[in-house]
Every structure is written in C-alpha cells, then in structure tokens.
Amino acid sequence: MTLVALYRDEGVVLRTQKLGEADRIVTVLTRGNGRVRAVAKGVRRTRSRFGARLEPATRVDLQLYEGRNLDIVTQAETLDAFGARLAGDYPAHTAGAAVLETAERLTAEEREPALRLYLLVVGGLRALADRRHPSRLVLDAFVLRAMASAGYQMALESCTRCGAPGPHGAVAVAVGGVVCPRCRPPGAATPAAETLGLLRALLGGDWPAAEATSERVRREGSGLVAVHLQWHLERRLRSLPLVEGG
C-alpha cells in the first residue's frame, strides 16, 4: 500500500491559471514550503467548495497532497481575503498585483523555504487592504525590503564600491546603490536628496517621514525602486507599468 504524502501549510495565492474545463493551477507562496504549484479541482464551477478561497492575494490554510508534478489542493480555509478587499480600490489592487508578481519572481526555485519573504508579502497586502499608507509607497517599501531579504539590498548610506561613508548623491543601480564621486560610473543617476531620504525611510519603516514627501519625490523614488528590481531580476515585471499612484 502506498501512503499519500499529505501536508498542511498556510500561504498566499500569488497567481492562478485556468486548467481544462473547470480546474485551476494555483501558485502559492507558503510559510513553510516556499513557492508551491498545485491543482485546485473544480474551482471554477459556481458550486465549488473552494469558492473564492483560492483567488489571488488570499491568505489560506491549505491541505495538499504531493503529486508527481503538481500537488493537489484537498482543503482550503480563508485566513485573510486580502484580494477581495483590494478589488474595491483600483490603485491598491494594481500595487497588490505587483507585490504578488515580485514575490513570484524572487522565488526562483519551487519548495525553497522563504519565510521572510512570506511575512513581507502578508504585511504588504495587509497594509494595502487596510489603506494604512498610500499604496505606491507600500509597494516600494515592500520591494526594497523583499530585495534586501533576497540579498539585493539597495545601499543607501555608504558608497557601494569603496564603503566611503555617506551621504552620497549618485545612484548606480548596476553597482547596487549609492556611489561616492570617485567610484561613480558613467550613467549613474543623481536623484534629489529627498528621494534618497524617502528610500531610506521606506526601507527602515519610518512612515511619517515617507508620507511627508512630495508627489515628485515619490515618483522619482518609485522609478529608482523599479529599475533596481528589474535590473537584479533581469526581467521586466508586467504589472509595474500598470500600477496607479494612490
């Protein structure tokens, strides 16, 4: 007799894809098992017992059994329906989609535990759903911290190359952050000092300072964060150009 490997974990649904007549493949970032792809059978039928539980941006308690290629979802209970709350606020919805896509791209290998990233995704979605801060700032804070947890922290204090103490005014994304005048490579950007202050505030969680910035500074900060993310991922994120400020 073969024993079916059943396991239970909590996770956030990152993406869903249609499969056959009424099934879906769900990509879930789990707390203990990293990114997992699993089949949810019959989920697209209106009478599905999973219903809205396996929609993107929902935090769920899952029971799965291990399949040969894909696992199979056998039970799902909602822990937080972030997606349903985000759908009513278009800017927050687009920022949430970018959070999910970033998390998927940062987990290159399936089943590689990524607890810190998981906690950041849950925190980011909760902040967006609760409308705690402007959605674009929440997204940028998430990206900066998620990149840091993946080993791509944007250097914002000392020179990335020689370690000379800052503050420095130039940013070279290819090098990894701020650079001193001696190390500055051709093509490095020179953002406003307030923009670098905003990025430091977002990385460190200083929300009063981040929210005190002007729209122009936020736009410049978002641009730098997007370039930093896409440079290190070596690909463009589809959702980023569609993110609305808010």
Partner 1 sequence: MYEGAVQDLIDELGRLPGVGPKSAQRIAFHLLAANPADVRRLVDALTQVKEKVRFCRVCGNVAEAEECRICRDPRRDQASICVVEESKDVVAIEKTREFRGRYHVLGGAISPIEGIGPDDLRIRELLARLQDGAVTEVILATDPNLEGEATATYLARLLGPLRLRVTRLASGLPVGGDLEYADEVTLGRAFEGRRLLEA
**In this complex, which beta carbon is closest to partner 1, that of residue 57 or of residue 114?**
57
Query: Which residues are CB-neighbours of 116 under 8 A, at least 6 positions away?
Result: 149
DSSP for 15-59, written as a single string: EEEEETTTEEEEEEEETTTEEEEEEETTTTSTT-SSGGGGSTTEE
> Helix or strand or coil: residue 131?
coil
**In this complex, which beta carbon is closest to partner 1, that of residue 67 or of residue 181?**
67
Least distance to partner 1, CB of residue 8, Å:
18
Nearest CA to 78 out of 12, 170, 165, 163 is that of: 12
**In this complex, which beta carbon is closest to partner 1, that of residue 93 or of residue 232?**
93
Least distance to partner 1, CB of residue 17, Å:
10
Strand partners, 155: 177
Least distance to partner 1, CB of residue 76, Å:
8
**In this complex, which beta carbon is closest to partner 1, that of residue 88 or of residue 151?**
88
Least distance to partner 1, CB of residue 167, Å:
35
Residues of the shown chain interacting with partner 1 in the complex, contacts defined by CB under 8 A: 15, 20-21, 46-47, 49-53, 55-57, 78, 81, 83-84, 86-90, 93-94, 97-98, 100-101, 238-239, 241-243
**In this complex, which beta carbon is closest to partner 1, that of residue 2 or of residue 46?**
46
Query: Which residues are CB-neighbours of 219 under 8 A, at least 6 positions away?
Result: 245
The answer to whether 59 touches 80, Cβ cutoff 8 Å, is yes
